[in-house]
Amino acid sequence: MAEEKSSFLTKLDELDARFCQLEKQIADPAIAGDPAKLIALSKEQGKLKTVITKYREYKKTTADIKETRKILEDSTTEQDFRTLAKEEIQQLEDKKNTLLDRCQFGHNGNTSRHRR
């Protein structure tokens, strides 16, 4: 299961990189002069946008969890803040899992995307 998740996250990283490439290509003035190419790139970008937006939110949530865990690891943190941090971590973990599920659902819905 962990290997499957790792493989899926690797695939999402690849899609995120492709999305960045598409953004750069669409911003290229040379592409603006080729309407057919611009339309094709915009369509591909549109297919990826939802899953990439969720994936980026997933990555931010994962980073937020790490930051919040630092509060728990700090021995000088007051008990009230530790309690709040534990609650926050639980909420963030739930959010992270939901986002990953949405990424997976969105990605599976886009399996017909570019295969060149």
Q: Dump pLDDT digits (tens) for 80-97.
A: 999 999 999 999 999 999
Sorted by where each starts, the structural domains of the chain and their CATH numbers stand as 2-109 (1.20.58)
Q: What is the DSSP string of 47-77?
A: HHHHHHHHHHHHHHHHHHHHHHHHHHH-TTS
Q: Is 9 exposed, middle or buried (0-12, 13-18, 19+ CB in 10 A)?
A: middle
**Distance, CA of 16 to CA of 98 (rounded, Å):** 19
Beta strands in the chain (DSSP E): none
Instruction: Please give the model's pTM, rounded to 2 decimal places.
Output: 0.81
Provide the mean pLDDT of the chain: 90
